[in-house]
Amino acid sequence: MATQLHKELTYDASVEEVRAMLNDPAFREEVLEALHVIRGSVAVAGSRLTIEQVWSSDSLPSFARKFVGDEIVIVQEETWATDRADISVTIPGKPGDMSGTAVLEATAGGTVEQVDMTIKVGIPLVGGKIEKLIAEMLANALDKEHATGVKWLAKA
CATH top class, domain 3-155: alpha beta
Domain ranges for the chain:
3-155
Task: For residue 68, give the 3-state DSSP assignment.
Answer: helix
Are the CB atoms for 64 and 95 separated by under 8 Å?
no
pLDDT tens-place string over residues 38-91: 999 999 999 999 999 988 777 776 766 666 677 888 899 999 998 999 999 988
Is the Cα dihedral 29, 31, 34, 38 positive or negative? negative
Residue 66 CA, chain-centre distance (Å), reads 23
Task: State pLDDT tens for residues 6-44.
Answer: 999 999 999 999 999 999 999 999 999 999 999 999 999
Q: DSSP secondary-structure letter at 66? A: H
Q: Are 67 and 123 in contact (CB under 8 A)?
A: yes
CA dist., res. 23 & res. 43, Å (int)? 10
| Amino acid type, 63 | F
Q: Which of 28-32, 95-99, 152-156 has the highest mean pLDDT?
A: 28-32
> Crossing angle for the helix pair 25-35 and 127-155, nearest 10 degrees?
120
pLDDT at 122 over 90: no
Residue type at 12?
D
Going from the C-alpha of 142 to that of each of 40, 63, 67, 95, 137, the distances in angstroms are 16, 24, 24, 22, 9
Distance between CA atoms of 6 and 119, rounded to whole angstroms?
11
